[in-house]
Amino acid sequence: MEVAIRLDRSAGLHGQICRQLRDAVLDGRLRPGEVLPSSRELAGQLRVSRNTVTAAYERLIAEGYLTGRAGAGTFVNARPEGEPAVPQLSHGVLTPRAMWEPMPVPPDYGNAPEFDFRIGAPDARLFPYAAWRRLLSNQFRSSAVGTGMPVEPAGHLGLRAAIARHLRTARTIETQPRDVLVTSGVQQALDLIGRVLLEPGATAAVEEPGYVPPRLVWESQGARVIGVPVDEQGLIVDALPPGARLVYVTPSHQYPTGVALSLRRRVELLAWAQRHDAAIIEDDYDSEFRYTEQQLEPLHSLDRSGRVLYVGSFSKVLLPTLRLGFLIHPPSLRHALHAAKFVTDWHTSLPIQAAMADFVEQGLFGRHLRRVRRVYRRRHERIAAALAGPLSKHLAVVPSAAGLHLSATVRATAAADAIDRAQASGVGVATYPEVATAAPDSPGVVFGYGMIDVRRIDEGLARLHQYLGAD
């Protein structure tokens, strides 16, 4: 392994090598069992005599920091017992901008509750690992990598074409590959749109309760973000602030309530944007998982003035860790968005994009989507049936025919305490304030079914009912 050592040629070289190697062992940069470079190799690297390095190694072996094995090399020992670690650097004097101090960071998703009703992720067990490994390995050949130079910011042309074809077929969205921008998830799409459309101090409107990341992204860019209430028909258009530069909506399956934006509201929202010279961001959240034949037309399909930017991702159908999303933009914003993508990260991982293009073109995406839709439909129906049964005394389900979660309103304030106790006992449901932008006393609870096995649903909801019934 390589070892970084800086030498002051005006001081004793042997002592400096000893001290820096000792510090590396004490602070964990060199871990027990790791092999150091040979004395000849390190001497050449540092441009010192081999005897100088050999003397340093022998001293550290005598002190117990290293072990020499004839014919094998020099190895790091565990830190001697009682030996203090090297003091760490000071906390630092640099301070971030004030707006970053209260900014939340993602929770640790590592420890799953016993009954995993958390929202925001699909079932990783359903991912087609074998097919994906084959497609991805194909991209790590010299013929696929090509020159190895970065590609254009908009992304892999084959994937952009595949996305455009999929949206035309599945969502009646008429778009061309040149108007598709591949992103590292929906969150980056929101960031790019904010960079392009929001001046510092500009107003953006979001649903409330609603998805948290848009508010965080645009507030970090210096925008003023205002929440707009949602009812059983979706976003209340009459409550939009007149000065909003853009409006973010989840019309297919509102996050977190699950309601769909009615056709009347869609028309009203488009008319509002036209009157106020505003943009609409349509996040087609969970639209892939619809369990009825009836589908409302996307806002993008109804738009005739080029005001709707459509964002989506492959996170729910495949895996969130792929960080693969897309943005459908009007031609008037093409150059600005491509430039913003270049400034941000140049382009999303090309091998991942190319593998995804093949995944769609070979029909694997459609096959996988049909499979997981059947799985999630069973979970959706099981939870809906339970909420319509004994739990209906305490919870009123919000009708929803799509997505990977169901929402319910809490009928009594006392039930909120019972939900807290159920969470502590391993029932991984969430309340609106925990997952959405909403007032702390918002009486809503969310049941995700992306990660819970259908065989665990009844037992988990029965445990929740025990706590609710105890009141």
How far apart are the two ends of the chain, measured CA to CA in Å?
Answer: 63
CATH assignment of 1-93, given 3.30.1050.10, 3.40.50.300, 3.30.70.870, 1.10.10.10? 1.10.10.10
Instruction: Report pLDDT for 412.
Output: 78
Q: Which backbone phi and psi does 449 adopt, to 5 degrees? A: -130, 25
Comparing 291 with 464, the larger pLDDT belongs to 464
Q: If 0-12 CB within 10 Å is exposed, 13-18 middle and 19+ buried, where does residue 271 land?
A: exposed
CA atoms within 13 A on the CB side of 7: 18
Q: CA of 157: how far to CAs of 154, 354, 386, in Å?
A: 8, 9, 46
Which of 59-63, 170-174, 292-296, 367-371 has the least mean pLDDT?
A: 292-296
Tokens of 469: 């019934």
Cα–Cα–Cα angle for 160, 162, 163, rounded to 5 degrees: 65
Domain 367-469 is found in CATH 3.40.50.2000: no
Are 155 and 347 a contacting pair, CB within 8 Å? yes
Which of 124-128, 286-290, 447-451 has the least mean pLDDT?
A: 286-290
The whole-number average pLDDT for the span 335-364 is 96
What is the pTM (predicted TM-score) of this model? 0.84
Instruction: Report pLDDT for 325.
Output: 96
Cβ neighbours for 396, distance < 8 A, ≥ 6 positions apart: 408, 409, 411
Tokens of 74: 């020099």
The whole-number average pLDDT for the span 117-132 is 94
The whole-number average pLDDT for the span 89-97 is 79
Instruction: Report pLDDT for 286.
Output: 80
Return the amino acid letter for 444: G
Q: What does the pLDDT look like over 1-18, one tens digit per residue?
A: 677 888 887 778 889 999
Tokens of 132: 């994906």
Q: What does the pLDDT look like over 448-463, one tens digit per residue?
A: 999 999 999 999 999 9
Instruction: Report pLDDT for 81.
Output: 64
Instruction: Report pLDDT for 401.
Output: 84
Q: What does the pLDDT look like over 153-171, one tens digit per residue?
A: 999 999 999 999 999 998 8
The whole-number average pLDDT for the span 294-306 is 90
The whole-number average pLDDT for the span 277-292 is 90
Q: If 0-12 CB within 10 Å is exposed, 13-18 middle and 19+ buried, where does residue 133 land?
A: exposed
Length of the chain, in residues? 471
Nearest C-alpha neighbor of 190 from the set 314, 341, 315, 299: 341
The number of beta carbons lying within 10 Å of the beta carbon of residue 75 is 16
Q: CA of 402: how far to CAs of 210, 287, 290, 377, 465, in Å?
A: 17, 7, 4, 9, 24
On the question of pLDDT at 107 being above 80, the answer is no
Q: Find the helix or strand (DSSP H, E) in which 208 lies.
A: strand 203-208
Are 119 and 448 a contacting pair, CB within 8 Å? yes
On the question of pLDDT at 414 being above 90, the answer is no
**Domain residue spans in the chain?**
1-93, 126-365, 367-469
Mean pLDDT of the chain: 90
Cβ neighbours for 38, distance < 8 A, ≥ 6 positions apart: 73, 74
Q: Per DSSP, which regions of 236-307 are E strands?
A: 244-249, 279-283
Q: In 421-436, which positions are buried (b, 16+ CB within 10 angstroms) versus exposed (e)?
A: ebbeeebbbbbbebbb
On the question of pLDDT at 139 being above 60, the answer is yes
The whole-number average pLDDT for the span 142-146 is 72
Q: Which backbone phi and psi does 374 adopt, to 5 degrees? A: -65, -40
Cβ neighbours for 236, distance < 8 A, ≥ 6 positions apart: 228, 229, 230
Spatial separation of the C-alpha atoms in residues 367 and 310, rounded to whole Å:
24
Q: CA of 310: how far to CAs of 144, 306, 447, in Å?
A: 30, 11, 26
Secondary structure of the chain: what % helix, strand, coil (to 5)?
Answer: 45, 15, 40
On the question of pLDDT at 298 being above 70, the answer is yes
Q: CA of 207: how far to CAs of 8, 226, 259, in Å?
A: 60, 9, 12
CATH number for the domain running over 126-365 = 3.40.640.10
**Residue found under tokens 């074809």:** 165
Spatial separation of the C-alpha atoms in residues 234 and 14, rounded to whole Å:
73
On the question of pLDDT at 234 being above 70, the answer is yes
Tokens of 258: 């699950």
Instruction: Report pLDDT for 83.
Output: 61
Comparing 286 with 189, the larger pLDDT belongs to 189
CA atoms within 13 A on the CB side of 6: 1
Nearest C-alpha neighbor of 348 from the set 202, 189, 129: 189
Tokens of 162: 């595949």
